Structure formats: C-alpha cells, structure tokens
Structure 1
Amino acid sequence: MPDFVNAPLRRHEALVPFSRDHFTGLVHAYRLIRSATQDRATRRKALAGILDDWNGEIEQHFEDEERLLIPVLDLDDASRLVLEHRELVALFDRIRAQRSVLDPDPEPLKTMGHALDAHIRWEERDLFNRVQNSLTPAQLGLLAVETVRIEATRPRNNPASPPPPLGRRP
C-alpha cells in the first residue's frame, strides 16, 4: 500500500456538502491544468465543463460558503475566503471570454486550474479544520441544518436533471 503524504481528513457532517462540491471543483482544476498541454479539442472540453457547472453550482457554492462561514471565521480567514473567491471569479471571467474561440489560450486555463486547486486544498486542509475545531456542537448542528438543505438543492441531487457522471465529462 502506498504511503500517503497527507493523512485522510475527517470532516464534520456540517461541512461534508461543501467537500462534495470541492470534489467536482478538483476534477475541473485537474482537467483545466492538463488541457493546457493538450490539443485544442481537449482545451475546449475542459472549458465547456467548467462553463456548464459555473452558474449552476460553483458560483452558488461561493455564495453559500460566504453566507454560512464568514460569520464564524476570524477576520484573516474571512478576508482570505472572500479574496480568493473574487480572484477565482475574475479568472473565470477571463476563461469564459474564450468560450467561442476555436483554440482557447492554454495559459488562462492552466492559471484557473492551479488557482482553483490551491483554493480548494486550503479550504479542505486548513479552513475547514479550524471551523470544525472551533465551533461548539450546537453551532455545528445549526450549520449542518443549512448545509443539508443546500446539498438537497445541488444539481447532483436533482433526479429531474441528473448531471452526467464525472468520468464522462470533458
């Protein structure tokens, strides 16, 4: 069995819905980074994938995190969360501008992929651990009520329009 650099993270149930969103984000990050060294068809597929998920899921994820987590974060973490979300929105706007380009520029795709990956890993490895270790059980319970409600609204949980399996996306 391989030795892992990082031990598995134990996530409180109140934060699990955000972690599920992060899985999809990491898949997009990987595809964007990888596409930068591939052909234009691969870049277009990676771009199309994140464009499809941005408005319906990723943008909402940012809003949900800010609404629910900022009130319980210290000033440094709250500031970083908002700053990184704004930076990701700006990077997304830059790659969205390439949606009708036949051969998307690989550099913005790679930059977006690396920024998305770094942001998610900071939240998962650092921020969420501080949240779950600093909140009381009652606070975590209230957060869980909200995140369970959010999870039910995610496209992946809507049987009327299930998203394609991640393995079949671009």
Structure 2
Amino acid sequence: MRRSPHLLQLSREHHTALVLAKRAQRLARGTAAAAQEFMDELPAVFEHELEPHFQVEEIALLSALRDAQAADGAEDVVSMVERTLLEHAGLRELARRIGGQDFSSLAVFGELLDGHVRFEERELFNRAESLLSPEALARIDEAHRQMGAGCRSTLPS
C-alpha cells in the first residue's frame, strides 16, 4: 500500500506495534510464568514507545481530521476519531493491568492492538490521506518529529 510520505513514519511504527501484539497473543497461550518478563516490561515499553505514537495521533492527526470534518461535513470521520480514542484508552488500561500482573489481559491486549493497527492502516490513514491537504499532512509529520514519537521495541524476544 502506498502511503503519504507525511504518514510514513507513523505507519512504520505500526509494524513494531503488530510485532508486540503478536508476541502478547503468543505468550497469552502459555503460562503466566513464561510471560512474566514481558508483563514486567510492557508498561515501560508502552510509556516510551506506544504512548508517544498515540499522542501524535491524538494531538496532530485526530485534531486535523476533526477540523477537516467540521469544514467538510465528512460524518464518517467522527466515528473513526471516536473509535481511535476509545481503542487508545482501552490499550492504556490493558497495559496498566498487565503491569499489575493481570495475565488474563495479555490476549485481549494483543487482539485489540492488532485490530487497532489494522484499522488505522486500512481505514483511518486512508481517510486522512483522502481528506487532509498536503499541508495538514505535513503538519502531522512535523508534530511527529517535534514530539520524538516512535515505536522501537526494546522488549526481549
């Protein structure tokens, strides 16, 4: 899929998020003891990698989409923005639970993160590219650079 150069870094970060999601799903099929290291490290990884990515999306991308929706009347954007925010909140809560050693949250976290990334790649980003001006997309990219966002997983394999 060809992606706007202004959303390319956010899109690349989704790959790392998918790897994290698949790892959580795999570990959830095992035992809590086998997932212990992952569960111990997930809150920090989330805070330093996924949270900055979410912040760029929420502050720059979703704001730009809201502005475009208000000007353009693109009603589908409202539900996409709401879904993104709800999923971000859900993932934050699940990461918090996992950090509290809630092994049962691993599978849900992995499934939600996987579905969330696929939604953003297939729907949200495509809609942003079709609705936002090149200047608005460039502002998202600039916000990303300024905020120093990035998924660069440091979890052990």
TM-score by length of 1: 0.75
The CA RMSD over aligned residues, in Å, is 2.2
C-alpha change, 1:155 and 1:58, in structure 2 (3 Å) is: closer
Instruction: Show the counterpart of 2:94.
Output: 91
Q: Which residue of 1 aligns with 2:129?
A: 132
Give the Cα–Cα distance (whole angstroms) in 2 for the partners of residues 153 and 92 of structure 1.
18
Residue 111 (structure 2) pairs with residue 119 (structure 1): no
Q: Tell me, yes or no, if the aligned pair for 2:49 and 2:150 is still in contact at 8 Å.
A: yes
Aligned equivalents of 1:72, 1:59: Cα separation in 2:
19
Inter-partner Cα distance in structure 2 for 1:48 and 1:16: 31
For structure 2, the residue ranges without an aligned partner over 5 or more in a row are 66-76
1:112-157: CA deviations, max 9, x gaps?
Answer: 110111111100111001101211222222323223444x55485x
Offset of residue 69 of structure 1? 1.2
What is the DSSP-based 3-state SS (H/G/I as helix, E as strand, rest coil) of the residue aligned with 1:42? coil
| Distance in 1 (alpha carbons) for counterparts of 2:48 and 2:79 | 29
How many angstroms does 1:13 deviate by? 1.4
* Structure 1 position 83, deviation (Å): 1.1
Highest CA radius of gyration, 1 or 2? 1
Residue 67 of structure 1: aligned partner: 59
Aligned with 2:81: secondary structure? helix
Relative to structure 1, the CA distance from residue 87 to residue 155 in structure 2 (aligned partners, 3 Å threshold; closer, same or farther) is closer
Q: Counterpart of 2:6 in 1: which secondary structure?
A: coil
Deviation string 1:71-117 (CA, Å, 9 cap, x unpaired) is 2223222111111111111111211111xxxxx63x31111110111
Contact 1:35 / 1:43 at 8 angstroms: preserved in 2?
yes
- Paired position in structure 2 for 1:76: 79
Is the Cα–Cα contact under 8 Å of residues 17 and 113 in structure 2 kept in the other structure?
Answer: yes
- Residue 33 to residue 64, structure 1, CA distance change in 2 (3 Å): same
Aligned AA (2:96): D
Q: Is the 8 A contact 1:14 1:148 kept in 2?
A: no
**Unaligned stretches of 5+ in structure 1?**
1-8, 99-103, 157-162
CA distance in 1, matches of 2:16, 2:113: 11
How many residues were matched structurally? 146
Conservation of the 8 A alpha-carbon contact between 1:14 and 1:147: no
Asked if the contact 1:36–1:110 (Cα under 8 Å) also holds between the matched residues in 2, the reply is: yes
Report the residue type matching 2:7 in the other structure: L
Q: Percent identity?
A: 34
Which residue in the other structure is 1:30 paired with?
Answer: 22
SS of equivalent to 2:34: helix
| Secondary structure class of the residue paired with 1:17 | helix
What is the TM-score of this pair, normalised by structure 2?
0.80
